[in-house]
Structure 1
Amino acid sequence: MNQHALIKTDAAKSPFLRDWRNKDAAAWTEAEKRKRIYISPVGLDHLRPMSRTLSKIEVTEKSRQKNVRKLGDYFHEEIVKAFKSAPPGNREVVPAADADSLVLEVAIIEFNPNPVIGGLVRKGINILLWPGAETAVSHKLKGNMAIEGRLMDFKTKQVLYEFADAEQNRSGIILYVHDYTTYTYFRKACREWAKQIEAVVRTEAASTVKDGPAATLLLW
Structure 2
Amino acid sequence: MNTRACWLHLGLALLLSLGGTSCRTAKSVVAAVEVKPSTFLEHATLLKENRKRSPFLGNWWNPDKKAKAALETAKKIHIAPVLHSHVRPMEGILPKIEYGTWRRDRNLPSLAKYTRKKFIQVFRDAKNPRFAVVDEPDKDAITLELSLLEWVPNTYSGFTVREIVDWVTFDGVAAVTLKGTRGLIAIEGRLIEPKSGKSVFEFADKEIGKTVLILPIQEFFPSGQAHFAITEWAKQLEELLRTKPDVKVKDSFPVVLWNY
TM-score scaled to structure 1, two decimals?
0.88
Please tell me whether the aligned partners of residues 161 and 205 of structure 1 are also in contact (alpha carbons under 8 angstroms).
Answer: no
2:107 equivalent in structure 1: 67
Q: What is the one-letter code of the residue matched to 1:80?
A: I
CA distance in 2, matches of 1:88, 1:33: 16
* Corresponding residue SS for 2:162: helix
Matched, 1:91 2:131: yes
Q: 5+ unaligned residues in a row in structure 2: which ranges?
A: 1-40
Q: 5+ unaligned residues in a row in structure 1: which ranges?
A: none
CA distance in 2, matches of 1:9, 1:205: 11
CA distance in 2, matches of 1:58, 1:95: 38
CA distance in 2, matches of 1:150, 1:205: 18
CA distance in 1, matches of 2:225, 2:170: 25
Q: Percent identity?
A: 32
CA distance in 2, matches of 1:25, 1:100: 18
1:146 equivalent in structure 2: 186
* Corresponding residue SS for 2:73: coil
Matched, 1:200 2:240: yes
Given the superposition, is the C-alpha separation of residues 26 and 18 from structure 1 closer, same or farther in structure 2, using an over 3 Å criterion? Answer: same
Further displaced range: 100-109 or 186-195: 186-195
1:215 equivalent in structure 2: 255
CA distance in 2, matches of 1:203, 1:175: 33
Given the superposition, is the C-alpha separation of residues 30 and 173 from structure 1 closer, same or farther in structure 2, using an over 3 Å criterion? Answer: closer
- Cα deviation for residue 68 of structure 1 reads 2.3
TM-score scaled to structure 2, two decimals?
0.75
Please tell me whether the aligned partners of residues 46 and 60 of structure 2 are also in contact (alpha carbons under 8 angstroms).
Answer: yes
Instruction: Please tell me the root mean square deviation across aligned C-alpha atoms, in Å.
Output: 2.3
Please tell me whether the aligned partners of residues 33 and 100 of structure 1 are also in contact (alpha carbons under 8 angstroms).
Answer: no
* Corresponding residue SS for 1:32: helix
Equivalent pairs counted in the alignment come to 219
* Corresponding residue SS for 1:42: coil
Out of 182, 205, 216, the position equivalent to 1:176 is 216
Matched, 1:166 2:191: no
Q: What is the one-letter code of the residue matched to 1:36?
A: K
Which deviations, in whole Å up to 9, do the C-alpha atoms of 1:103-130 show, x marking residues without a partner? 1011111001112111111121233455
- Cα deviation for residue 213 of structure 1 reads 3.0
Which deviations, in whole Å up to 9, do the C-alpha atoms of 1:130-158 show, x marking residues without a partner? 55553554111111100000111011112
